[in-house]
Amino acid sequence: MSLTINDVEKIAKLSRLSLNNTEKNATLEKLNAVFALVEKMQTVNTDGIEPMSHPHEVALRLRDDAVTESDHAAQYQAVAPEVRNRLYIVPQVIED
């Protein structure tokens, strides 16, 4: 897949960017290079390879799960116009 100048203009418009012709051409080259790299990566055979959660073999440092702060919800919700079951109730703004 390769992009055209029209595609770059559409992307720039959606991004609210103002690009001159030189910038459009440079952006086109860079984006096409990215797409070429992605296409090249898609040709790699990954059959039998398990997905990784992290690129390095590291052990997570765990800490004790302990409460460090007290519950202030009642104080925070005391000034709210309406609270139900510890949830803030707000007026409906979008009609069904």
Angle between helices 5-14 and 21-42 (to 10 degrees): 100
pTM for the full predicted model: 0.52
79 assigned to some structural domain: no
Question: Is residue 96 pLDDT above 80, yes or no?
Answer: no
Q: What is the pLDDT of residues 36-83, one digit of tens each?
A: 999 999 999 999 998 888 888 888 788 888 988 999 999 999 999 999
| Position 92 in a domain | no
Average pLDDT on 76-92 reads 93
In order of 4, 64, 71, 75, the CA distances from 68 in angstroms are: 56, 11, 10, 18
If one counts the domains in the chain, the total is 1
Q: What is the pLDDT of residue 56?
A: 85
User: Would you say residue 54 lies in a domain?
Assistant: no
Encode pLDDT of 5-46 as tens digits.
Answer: 999 999 999 999 999 999 999 999 999 999 999 999 999 999
- CATH code at position 20: 1.10.20
In-domain check, residue 80:
no
What's the token pair of residue 3?
Answer: 């992009």
Residue 14 maps to a domain: yes
Spatial distance between the Cα atoms of 93 and 87, rounded to a whole number of angstroms: 17
What range defines the domain where residue 38 resides?
Answer: 5-42
DSSP per position, 21-72: HHHHHHHHHHHHHHHHHHHHHHTS--TTPPP-SSSS--PPPP------S---
